[in-house]
Amino acid sequence: MRVNSGTARLPKILTSAVIAALLALTACASSGVDPGAAHHFKPGVTTRAQVIKRLGPPASVYVGMDETRTLTWAKTGGLFDSGTTKGLSIQFGPDDKMVKVVSQP
């Protein structure tokens, strides 16, 4: 008995679509800024490289006239709260050591 090839491919397409949707939801739920991340860093001690290693690349970097750098990590609310963005901004001195947390979620 010969099966219509279009019908046989349908379950594979549906399975692939479901897997892709689940992966996308998982990425939305797990990406972004950890609300408690700032507690791991100490002004005057923690370096910019250490923060980037822990949080990943920042969404933006602002370089001030005094050579300070303010790095910002941002997280949108995701699928169920898309209108909300939370951010963590940390300022670093010219020596690349943390000065202060400027804002946090």
Burial class (CB in 10 A: 0-12, 13-18, 19+), 90: buried
Beta carbons of 61 and 12 less than 8 angstroms apart: no
- Ranges of residues in the chain with a pLDDT under 50 are 14-31
Please tell me the predicted confidence (pLDDT) of residue 87: 85
Contacts of 91 (CB under 8 A, 6+ apart): 68, 69, 70, 98, 99, 100, 101, 102
The Cα 25–Cα 6 span in angstroms is 29
Going from N- to C-terminal start, the domains of the chain cover 1-30, 32-103
Number of H helices, E strands in the chain: 2, 4
Please tell me the predicted confidence (pLDDT) of residue 84: 60
Is CATH 3.30.1450 correct for 32-103? yes
Please tell me the predicted confidence (pLDDT) of residue 103: 84
Please tell me the predicted confidence (pLDDT) of residue 22: 39
